Structure 1
Amino acid sequence: MTIQERQQEVIDEFSMFDDWMQRYEYMIELGKSLPLIDEKYKIDENLIKGCQSKVWVHAELEGDKLAFTADSDAIITKGIVAILIRVFSDQHPSEIIEADTQFIDEIGLKEHLSPTRANGLVSMIKQLKMYAIAYQTQLN
């Protein structure tokens, strides 16, 4: 499944909910299903800078695709990173680098987050793309 198809899937799922309380509950459920990061990767260098809560993200190259794992100490933030990992994991680094994140606006996520969480969301996206850039150079 492509990044765009996964983004559309997220948009479709979020459109099923009438209000933001239901969407928050759904994000919490997504966070519970997040493939957890191995404890050995819960280190400072894997922490996302700019997040109010602690968010660790680890990336590994599997063949020519990136696989992400993550965790957070905050339940909503864990749901946010779960959405991003679902969209970007198991994709080629060049596709991650080129992908837009318009789906975040389409589901209304950024506007329904506190300013600090919205900044954290931007930082998470930036970090996933930085991993992709680093691994893309290894593939070339």
Structure 2
Amino acid sequence: MASEAFEDIVDTFEFLEDWEDRYRHVIDLGKAMDPLEEAFRVPATKVDGCASQVWLLPEIEGTGPNATFRFRGESDAMIVRGLIAVLVALYSEQSVSDVLKIDAPAELARLGLNDHLSAQRSNGLRAMIERINLLASQAAAA
């Protein structure tokens, strides 16, 4: 169920055998994202449970379970910004009902991230996934 954008990341990870290169790629994905405007870096968009500062801004088009899910994000840490880019690739352009069906831990395991992130980063990633699921649940019920 992963998007084409996420599958591209999986393919790139398979090509890059060295974890330093993979980290660099994740950081590059984050650098390629447009920055989140300061006006959206507010408590309502802030993700709790992350060691770094993280904001996720939902941009949902339509209503109900078939609404299209998109979000933008920002972090003060480059690797976390890259992880946000990976999550954008995984979730964006899906219906909110499909977002809720995505097994993010299984999809991210395909990248091997579970074995190469610190405990703090793993907790932060889990917090971002929980926030995304909450946003999708709220949108599906609207």
Q: TM-score, normalised by structure 1?
A: 0.91
1:113 aligns with one of 117, 129, 137: 117
Q: Which runs of 5+ in 2 are unaligned?
A: none
Shift of 1:72: 0.3
Counterpart position of 1:81 = 84
Shift of 1:8: 2.7
Q: Distance in 2 between matches of 1:6 and 1:29?
A: 15
Query: 1:28 aligned to 2:27?
Result: yes
Query: 1:65 aligned to 2:64?
Result: no
Q: Distance in 2 between matches of 1:106 and 1:74?
A: 23
Q: TM-score, normalised by structure 2?
A: 0.90
Q: Distance in 1 between matches of 2:34 and 2:129?
A: 18
SS of the counterpart of 1:96? helix
Of residues 82-91 and 67-76 in structure 1, the stretch that sits farther from structure 2 once superposed is: 82-91
Query: 1:128 aligned to 2:132?
Result: yes
CA contact (8 A) 2:6 2:86 kept: no
Q: Which runs of 5+ in 1 are unaligned?
A: none
CA contact (8 A) 1:55 1:73 kept: yes
Of residues 3-12 and 43-52 in structure 1, the stretch that sits farther from structure 2 once superposed is: 3-12
CA contact (8 A) 1:97 1:133 kept: yes
Q: Distance in 2 between matches of 1:99 and 1:4?
A: 10
Q: Distance in 1 between matches of 2:72 and 2:81?
A: 11
Identical residues among aligned pairs (%): 32
Name the count of aligned residue pairs: 137
Shift of 1:136: 0.5
Shift of 1:7: 3.5
Shift of 1:91: 1.3
Shift of 1:4: 4.7
CA contact (8 A) 1:65 1:93 kept: yes
Of residues 35-44 and 87-96 in structure 1, the stretch that sits farther from structure 2 once superposed is: 35-44
